[in-house]
Structure 1
Amino acid sequence: MSNPDSLSSPDTSRALNMPPSIVSWDGPEDRENPRNWSNHRRWTVTVVVSFFTFISPVASSISSPSLSAISADLKIQPGSILENMTLSIFVLAYAIGPLFWAPLSELCGRLIVLQVSNIRTDISFQAFNTICAFAKTPTQLLVFRFLAGFGGAAPQSVGGAIVGDMWSPTERGTAMSLYSIAPLVGPSTGPLVGGWIAQKTNWHWVFWSVSIADAILQIAAFMFLRETYAPEILKRKARSVRKSTENANARSPDCDTIGVAPSQRGMVKPIVFLATEPIVQVFALYMAVLYGVLYLSLTTFVKVFTIQYNEGPGIAGIHYLAIALGSTVGGQLGARVLTRVYLYLKAKNGGIGVPEMRLPLLMVSATTLPIGLLIYGWSVQAHAFWLVPDFGVFIFSIGIGANWTCIQTYLVDSYAIYAASAIAAVSSFRAFAGFGFPLFTDEMYARLGDGWGNSILALICLVIGCPAPFIFYRYGARLRARSNGSSVEQ
């Protein structure tokens, strides 16, 4: 029998023994590099991705004003944990989805993850959000809501990384502010719209309306979104070179066959970050508190203004504008301050930028949360004029918007191509709080009242959030130097 090696030509044998031919960008101005796309194209992608990140949180909270109607139809006891769970279980899926979608985006690219998670598979946000309207039992609704949340978690997982792919650190602040505002304004927009839906029609439309909006967004996504993850683009470029030139040794710099460690490119990366990276751990804990407080407020707002202030669901829903406006102001104003501070500190540091230059704003904005929570809680306790609790909510929402912009930009700067996994670790952990906090809301306020209940939340925000930026500003560089996942851009 002939030796299989004898079937290979001498040229082929020599080719197989040659070292890899690395395929990279065609110079610093290569237009295939997302950093070199036109501003118009980069902003278009940023806006579309932001809308993706917006629509999923809208779905998470839009059913809040309709909880009583849903409970009546599905025979759920009003005010029970089960009733609150029908709202918050969507967010529980955020704790699992990012652990899957984010590292997958680092293996297969960002674009396919966004599209597959939303429409191309049966396990999708679009499909299961629509099916929620046809639920006949509490169990069916819980299952469908969870599966919809799993698909909707993909934009939360990879959106920040997409922004990081396209914008350099000096440009990133403004772009990140637009993206960061979406997951914060979305949860407050849901009840604002859902309140009028609950008042004008039946609860099924809270799900159908989101699905219709998401279908329109999908059309825009197929038209405008392109792959932004540099390793994936170069991998495709290398594949094209191998096909067109018959150079079997053409490889991208990030190709697994030339030495990228499995620990750097595995599906367990977010879990590794959460278990080993102090930066990720502390900010995950802090964001858990912020997200928990946000969803706790979303759950109680309608009850506060319908029961204590005797307003209808539609009018009560308007108060969610305080969260939306506060988050917008915090994110937009914070982004501009963030960029100015970063450029100033970078210039003082000889033109070298480091991620810790994102933290001075956080030192200030972290104080707004306890202040706002105290104003909100004690003004409701005293039945003050409705504008006073709205002002308190506006103040702590400014903090949520500014803080999330700072934290997310800091993570993207620190972990670069692994930013999706770092953000996923934080997003996953915060989702547990978003799910859990609303479950004990009624009992906490029944026992402590609005004043002391919110005072406890303010104390938690003060203890966890205020020292963190000072600590990382001083020791962050040392922690990153010992990290296996940090990949700092300057």
Structure 2
Amino acid sequence: MRRKWAATLIVSCFTLVSPVSSSMIAPALESISADFRITKTVEAQLTLSIFVLAYAIGPLFLGPLSEIYGRVIVLQLANAFYFAWNLGCGFAQNKGQLMAFRFLSGLGGSAPLAIGGGVLSDTFFPEQRGKAISIYSLAPLLGPAIGPIAGGFIAENTTWRWCFWSTSIFTAMVQAFGIFFLQETYAPKLLAWKRDKLRKETGNMELHTEYDDLNKTLLNTLKIAMQRPFRLLGTQPIVIVLACYMAYLYGLMYLMLSTFPGLWSGRYGESTGIGSLNFISMGLGFFLGTQICAPLNDAIYRRLKKMNNGVGKPEFRVPIMVPGSILVPVGLFWYGWSAQAKVHWIVPNIGAAIFCAGTIISFQCIQTYLVDSYTRYAASAIAAATVLRSLAGFGFPLFAPAMFADFDYGWGNSVLGFIAIAMGVPAPFLLWKYGETLRSKSKFAAGG
């Protein structure tokens, strides 16, 4: 069990690195714009969000590569690729170089998002998986909240380039821990190693594993795995609904991240460094949501499994989605109208914390439900959700400044909150009622 948790913690650290990078430059956008003479707001936002666009592409080929070569080697090499281009961002001489380097570093940084869910699926039984996924899910959400706090003080006291150099130093440390402590978890790879060892010892070349397939070449695997997430998105109602809702939440999170610094510097008159401290409220919301959700998720699953004669179902993950889907719009209304009224700074921060708690609760439930429902194809199900949510994370910040200019914070966030109600509140009830029926008709889902 100790080795399982070591793998979880290291994968979570890998998963923390790139989201920190994705948002760390948010408070430094003014400095970057001044240095590179960026005059359009959309272009400035693009330097922030183009990193997340790469998240939509990377998992499509990194996931399949992990099924051929194993999880660990792909994680390590992708992290090294991220490290090289992230370091390059710190030396960029114009906006074109910065955007290109940001995109390439995002490709490498997307590996933990593509492979991490698979590592946990390999490692834990369903009744243990909730806590593990809660830790793993916290990293990509806590990262964007931590990054701007450091980024704000860096931008205020030194050059924005240290936003990239500091994350590169952290990456090198995580890489070193990964080399020594992260072990392979992918069963076909482990059995292939055992097969090769026995062939060498016995000289019997007829030995094979249950996963051996002569047709399993890299090209075939890439072809199947690139098609499968889109087949799941096109044919599986469960994946369509949950991936769309997850994408919406992720888009909202990056929209809030990109507009947060402007609220505190523009409306509240705070300095870049002090304004960045408000991101603590987002981090606190993510942390509290995780601490409440993780034990409850597994406890409810165990209790419902016991009541169901010891037979577990993915639908037993659904009850905890209900409070999550309610907290998201409540947080948006609270944050938006208090920011517009310019009341005491603590009030919009409370709203942001409520929104973030609802987001992490919903995220964890969706991820765990998808892993439980599509155990064998967990990587493809997560990849399908990752593609959509990354496109939303890229696109939402681009229209945010124009939306808040027209509607202000009150009605702007209210519109987003009403859409969150329409998408999020019915989802858990529909899954509870129809989830098992939909899975039984699917050739990809567990029980199908």
**Cα 1:158–1:263, aligned 2, differ >3 Å: closer, same or farther?**
closer
Q: Does the CA contact (< 8 Å) of 1:66 and 1:198 recur in 2?
A: yes
Q: Does the CA contact (< 8 Å) of 1:174 and 1:332 recur in 2?
A: no
**Cα 1:251–1:370, aligned 2, differ >3 Å: closer, same or farther?**
same
Q: Does the CA contact (< 8 Å) of 2:18 and 2:110 recur in 1?
A: yes
Q: Which 4+ stretches in 1 moved above 3 angstroms?
A: 257-267
Aligned residue number for residue 32 of structure 1? none
The letter for the 2-side match of 1:306 is S
Q: Does 1:202 align with 2:159?
A: yes
Of the three residues 349, 354, 358, the one matched with 1:395 is: 354
User: May I ask how many residue pairs the two structures share in their alignment?
Assistant: 446
The letter for the 1-side match of 2:10 is V
The letter for the 1-side match of 2:90 is A
Aligned residue number for residue 338 of structure 2? 379
Task: Answer 1 or 2: which has greater helix percent.
Answer: 2
Aligned mates of 2:195, 2:175 — CA distance in 1: 29
Aligned mates of 1:135, 1:347 — CA distance in 2: 58
Secondary structure in structure 1 of the residue aligned to 2:90: helix
Question: Rg: which structure is higher?
Answer: 1
Aligned identity (percent) is 46
Secondary structure in structure 1 of the residue aligned to 2:309: coil
> 1:143-182 counterparts in 2 under 5 A?
143-182=100-139
Aligned mates of 2:139, 2:33 — CA distance in 1: 29
Aligned residue number for residue 115 of structure 1? 76
Aligned mates of 1:268, 1:218 — CA distance in 2: 31
Aligned residue number for residue 91 of structure 2? 134
Aligned residue number for residue 96 of structure 1? 57
Secondary structure in structure 2 of the residue aligned to 1:171: helix
Q: Residue deviations 1:319-340, cap 9 Å, x none?
A: 1111111011112210111011
Aligned mates of 2:336, 2:447 — CA distance in 1: 41
Secondary structure in structure 2 of the residue aligned to 1:375: helix
**Cα 1:210–1:475, aligned 2, differ >3 Å: closer, same or farther?**
same
Q: Does the CA contact (< 8 Å) of 1:165 and 1:230 recur in 2?
A: yes
Q: Does the CA contact (< 8 Å) of 1:354 and 1:488 recur in 2?
A: no
Q: Residue deviations 1:185-204, cap 9 Å, x none?
A: 00111101101111111011
Deviation at 1:102, TM superposition (A): 1.7
> 1:72-471 counterparts in 2 under 5 A?
72-77=34-39, 80-119=41-80, 124-257=81-214, 266-471=225-430
Aligned mates of 1:419, 1:269 — CA distance in 2: 11
Q: Does the CA contact (< 8 Å) of 2:64 and 2:222 recur in 1?
A: no
Aligned mates of 1:48, 1:105 — CA distance in 2: 17
Deviation at 1:262, TM superposition (A): 6.8
Aligned residue number for residue 42 of structure 1? 4
The letter for the 1-side match of 2:153 is W
**Cα 1:264–1:416, aligned 2, differ >3 Å: closer, same or farther?**
farther
The letter for the 2-side match of 1:139 is G
Q: Residue deviations 1:351-373, cap 9 Å, x none?
A: 00011100110022111000000
Aligned mates of 2:208, 2:439 — CA distance in 1: 29
The letter for the 1-side match of 2:189 is E
**Cα 1:266–1:305, aligned 2, differ >3 Å: closer, same or farther?**
closer
Q: Residue deviations 1:13-55, cap 9 Å, x none?
A: xxxxxxxxxxxxxxxxxxxxxxxxxx21111111111011111
Secondary structure in structure 1 of the residue aligned to 2:115: helix
TM-score relative to the length of structure 1: 0.88
Aligned mates of 1:55, 1:263 — CA distance in 2: 26
Aligned mates of 1:163, 1:381 — CA distance in 2: 42
**Cα 1:419–1:488, aligned 2, differ >3 Å: closer, same or farther?**
farther
Of the structure 1 ranges 235-244 and 392-401, higher mean CA displacement relative to structure 2 is found in 235-244
The letter for the 1-side match of 2:418 is L
Q: Does the CA contact (< 8 Å) of 2:71 and 2:115 recur in 1?
A: yes
Deviation at 1:105, TM superposition (A): 1.9
The letter for the 1-side match of 2:257 is L
Q: Does the CA contact (< 8 Å) of 1:61 and 1:87 recur in 2?
A: yes
Aligned mates of 1:225, 1:411 — CA distance in 2: 25
Deviation at 1:384, TM superposition (A): 0.9
Aligned mates of 1:107, 1:271 — CA distance in 2: 20
**Cα 1:259–1:84, aligned 2, differ >3 Å: closer, same or farther?**
closer
Secondary structure in structure 1 of the residue aligned to 2:225: coil
Deviation at 1:272, TM superposition (A): 2.1
Aligned mates of 1:471, 1:227 — CA distance in 2: 38
Gaps of 5+ in 2: none
Deviation at 1:317, TM superposition (A): 0.7
Deviation at 1:276, TM superposition (A): 1.9
Deviation at 1:417, TM superposition (A): 3.0
Q: Does the CA contact (< 8 Å) of 1:125 and 1:149 recur in 2?
A: yes
Secondary structure in structure 1 of the residue aligned to 2:242: helix
Q: Does the CA contact (< 8 Å) of 2:118 and 2:378 recur in 1?
A: yes
